[in-house]
Amino acid sequence: MLEKNQEYEVDIIDDGYQGEGIAKIDNFPIFIQGAIKGERIKIKILKVQTNFAYGKIIQIIKESSNRVEAECEEYKKCGGCNLRHISYDYTLKIKKAIVENCLYKALNKNIEVHDVIGMENPLFYRNKLQYPVGIDKDGNAVMGVYSSRTHNIVPVSNCYIQNELCNKIANDIFAFIKENNVSVYNETILKGTVRHIVIRIGVKTNEVLVTIVVNDNNFKMDKEFVKYITEKYPNIKSIVKNYNTKNTNVILGNKNEIMFGSGYIYDILGEYKFKISPLSFYQVNPIQTEILYNTALNEIKSSSDVKNSTALDLYCGIGTIGIFASKYFKKVYGIEIVEQAIEDAKENAKINNVGNIKFYAGDVEKVLPQILDKIDEKPKVVFVDPPRKGLDNKTVELLKSLKPEKIIYISCNPATLARDLKELQENYTINSVQPVDMFPFTHHVECVTVLYARKTM
Ligand SMILES: C[S@@+](CC[C@H](N)C(=O)[O-])C[C@H]1O[C@@H](n2cnc3c(N)ncnc32)[C@H](O)[C@@H]1O
């Protein structure tokens, strides 16, 4: 029987999902953060549960050839990345195995999982930085990233996955906060003003949108702040104050107040230009987004049976997939729950001269039946790109009864993808899944899957 604080030497027999290695003692699994398959490690047991235990590395006795020195100094403390001790190529193999495990557990049939499409340069890839601002244990203001599974803020001044200009702007905004004694949010007593700094950049346009998330009305230095930061960074096209007064893990509230500029920026993806507002979803890795969308569209480009038909873009955000797809269809309808995103989507159709797309705000499960009632032609293709929780039951049932010829499922969570494919496989054939690495050095992985309606006799 394993006991807390005991030390053992173990062989790591598998890689877990989140940068942990797995060992077994008398068939009892132990999860060891930072260990890699093939290594021999001296560990100390941290915690013993009914069916497994957690251990920590004391000494690496035999090192994996896939182990690398993490370039980031904060890696061990910060909860942002969890695969940075592993060579990039091997992280892609781990991600492929994650997708295979999820799918093979849930589905009867073995589906081919292709190699993950990785990045040529997997550093500084994020176009959206969101750093919490708070108080450290000595009572000083701090900005950074939450450490893993806590709300302790680890100070970070140069994050290796964030856009480098956004990193610099964040540091200067925090310097302004400290120099001017601007009040920062204290999560324990729910008091104080600045909660988060959110910075978005259009990587192709170089336009920057700064959002300062506040808990109350006490950020009074608007004029001085705007002058200070826009003089330093002329790329800043807009600054927005966002009010979030709730005791919540959600970063942004619903109310925005423009401090400078128009309240939005533009970016370019492929041949299209997109307007992005603070509350609208926009994929965080634009280089991989083009690859993701083109992977999804390859299926349409080569299938004459669905070209010039009607398509749906469910969970459409600011309309990116629908607009990319619009040239292959007679008509496209997009549905999205965030109103500001739908306003952006409508504007995006206009500025790109896309006249055959219509957008609707609302919950897919409620709005989809209304749209299906209104439109003349049954959609032959449905794109779905839901949030991490996947499709809800009602949407799965609606898709089953609508029975489009193709469903193109874009997923950021292989577990819910597998669950939803299991529900849909009765009516659909699924041959393969293409993972795309949208989030290098974190355990997240995005997938594109095409579902083909089974022909009924
Ligand atoms: C993963 S994002 C995809 C957005 C877009 N397809 C893209 O590629 O940028 C998921 C989107 O679904 C929206 N959403 C979440 N729940 C929804 C629901 N029940 N009905 C409609 N949209 C929803 C979110 O606001 C978000 O914009």
User: Which of 282, 283, 315 most suits a substitution to test ligand 1, by most atoms within 8 Å of the C-beta?
Assistant: 315
Question: Closest residue (by CA) to atom 19 of ligand 1?
Answer: 363
User: Which of 335, 337, 367, 408 most suits a substitution to test ligand 1, by most atoms within 8 Å of the C-beta?
Assistant: 337
What whole-number distance in Å separates Cα of residue 230 and Cα of residue 236? 6
Å from CA of 279 to ligand 1 middle: 12
Question: Closest residue (by CA) to atom 12 of ligand 1?
Answer: 315
What's the whole-number average pLDDT of the chain?
96
Residue 457: pLDDT band with limits 50, 70, 90: low
| Confidence check: pLDDT of 245 > 90 | yes
Q: What is the mean pLDDT of residues 413-424?
A: 97
Å from CA of 63 to ligand 1 middle: 42
The string of pLDDT tens digits covering residues 8-18 is 999 999 999 99
Ligand 1 atom nearest the C-alpha of 395 is 19
The residues of the chain that CATH labels 2.40.50.140 are: 7-62
| Ligand 1 contact, 283 CB (< 6 A) | yes
Of 38, 36, 32, 34, nearest to 7 by C-alpha is 32
What whole-number distance in Å separates Cα of residue 247 and Cα of residue 186? 11
What pLDDT is attached to residue 104?
94
Is-catalytic flag, 412?
yes
| Confidence check: pLDDT of 297 > 90 | yes
Higher pLDDT, 41 or 308: 41
Strands 153-155 and 194-201: unpaired
Q: At what angle do helices 414-424 and 393-402 cross, to 10 degrees?
A: 40
> 324 by DSSP, 3-state: which?
helix
Catalytic residue among 81, 102, 316, 412: 412
The residues of the chain that CATH labels 3.40.50.150 are: 92-120+284-453
- The amino acid at 151: H
What pLDDT is attached to residue 455?
82
**Helix H or strand E segment including 452:** strand 446-453
Å from CA of 418 to ligand 1 middle: 19
The dotted CATH code for 92-120+284-453 is 3.40.50.150
| Ligand 1 contact, 338 CB (< 6 A) | yes
Domain range 128-269, CATH class: mainly beta
Cα dihedral sign for 234, 235, 236, 237? positive
| Confidence check: pLDDT of 304 > 90 | no
- Count the neighbouring beta carbons within 10 Å of the beta carbon of residue 402: 16
Indicate the range of 92-106, 236-250, 286-300, 303-317 predicted with least confidence. Answer: 303-317
Asked if 425 and 450 count as a contact pair (C-beta separation under 8 A), the reply is no
| Ligand 1 contact, 383 CB (< 6 A) | no
Among 3.40.50.10140, 3.40.50.80, 2.40.50.140, 3.40.190.10, name the CATH number for the domain at 7-62: 2.40.50.140
Question: Closest residue (by CA) to atom 6 of ligand 1?
Answer: 316
Strands 141-146 and 153-155: antiparallel
Alpha-carbon dihedral angle through residues 276, 280, 284, 290, given to the nearest 10 degrees: -60
